[in-house]
Structure 1
Amino acid sequence: MEKDEETAEKKIATVFLIWESNKEGLRFPNLSVLNGEIFPACFLNSEGKPISTPICVVLENLKWEKGRRCRCTIQVVLDEVSEEGLFCPGNRLYLYHNRKKIAEGEII
């Protein structure tokens, strides 16, 4: 069996993020968050119940909207972590930095 057949392609999800504006958040996320940046994330289902432990995700294709809002794609960083059930539309996620919640988002 070839290596390509053994390795499943990682899924990508589009999310809408709102970055925290209090002292816990990043001061200027549209200037400090770059494509390819990795953050720990926790996922919740559409009813707000946790469905994951902390998982590292990479943010790409950032498109900033008004203020502290952006659309981007996310992908799980480690191959050993399954995206099964995480990237369903309506699921929510929190992004963290230095153990503080810095953004909240929704899978679209």
Structure 2
Amino acid sequence: MAKITYIEHSGKEHVVEVAEGLTVMEGAVSNNIPGIDADCGGACACSTCHVYVHPDWVAKLPEKEDMEVDMLDFAFEPDTERSRLTCQLKVTPELDGLVVQMPEKQI
């Protein structure tokens, strides 16, 4: 299990344990974290699981694949460095301590 901190746009923090093999999006949905809509269910076909990754974590994550980059074009106020789709971030032991912040809104 990896502890992941989800920060709502308002600043409210939710620290939850997410099982390895799940995605950061699945961790948010299964723990009822507000701000991650996940309309496509994790198929990388929307941008409603968009987050801003804490700057300390940007270089520690796998690189974005082309499909994620394309979908981020539809996200609300994407940041070229920090924006990620949580459906594309698989939880591994290396993600223990990950911190993500939700945008003001999804789309």
Q: Tell me if both proteins adopt one fold, taking TM over 0.5 as the criterion.
A: no
Structure scoring higher RCO (CA < 8 A, sep ≥ 6) equals 2
From the two aligned structures, give the one with the greater strand fraction: 1
Task: Answer with 1 or 2: which has the greater Rg.
Answer: 1
Q: Please give the TM-score of this superposition, normalised by the length of structure 2.
A: 0.29
Q: Please give the TM-score of this superposition, normalised by the length of structure 1.
A: 0.29
From the two aligned structures, give the one with the greater helix fraction: 2
